[in-house]
Amino acid sequence: MGDTTRPVPSFTTRNAGDPAFWDERFKEGFTPWDLGGVPEEFRRFVEGRQPCPTLVPGCGNGWEAAWLFERGWPVTAIDFSAQAVASARRALGPAGAVVQQGDFFAFTPQPACELIYERAFLCALPPALRAAYGARVAELLPPGGLLAGYFYLGENRGGPPFAMPEAELDALLGPGFERIEDRPSAAPLPVFQGQERWQVWRRRGG
């Protein structure tokens, strides 16, 4: 996990929708949203399932993607920050091969994904992009496909990370998905102020 005890470096880019914003932070090693490993809920979720094509958007250092790869899962991890991709490839060794630079809103994984793993991606997006996120996950997943991961819920202003009221998340995903799991994160990172929840959403239809 990034060192949260040292002073925040001075950054020049303030727009979280610009890859340069994230390039600066990965270059400085300032990544307080990075667990540095695989969270418990995700481990339990994966261990109870058969491998399926999985997409990890906004993967950062990609710890979960590497863990899936090492267990034989077909996984693709993307980040639009070149510095994030370089950092992941340095950190992950051979498993770094699953990480590539790509824009979630334009990238189409091959094979088509059946699972999308969410961790610190939606809350990193400027709120103006939330509707596009909801549309894209619904477009990428087939009926019965799963969107699983961690969601930063709350009324907090500012960001990133940008908190989202629970009702807003329900309105965003509810038309295309049914929520089938919801519980507090067992080990929320300090940057999420105890407001991170593990949720699984299943694509409607079929």
SS3 of 37, please? coil
**Is the confidence at residue 35, as pLDDT, over 70?**
no
What pLDDT, on the 0 to 100 scale, is given for residue 37? 78
Weakest mean pLDDT among 8-17, 114-123, 126-135, 188-197: 8-17
State the average pLDDT over residues 104-120: 95
What pLDDT, on the 0 to 100 scale, is given for residue 203? 98
What pLDDT, on the 0 to 100 scale, is given for residue 20? 60
Q: How confident is the model at residue 98 (pLDDT cuts 50, 70, 90)?
A: very high
Burial of 18 (C-beta count, 10 Å sphere; 0-12/13-18/19+): middle
Q: How confident is the model at residue 3 (pLDDT cuts 50, 70, 90)?
A: very low
**Is the confidence at residue 21, as pLDDT, over 70?**
no
As assigned by CATH, the class of the 39-203 domain is alpha beta
Q: Spell out the alpha helix ranges (H) of 29-151.
A: 40-47, 63-70, 82-92, 130-140
User: Cα–Cα distances in Å, from 34 out to 5, 31, 47, 181, 189?
Assistant: 14, 6, 22, 23, 8
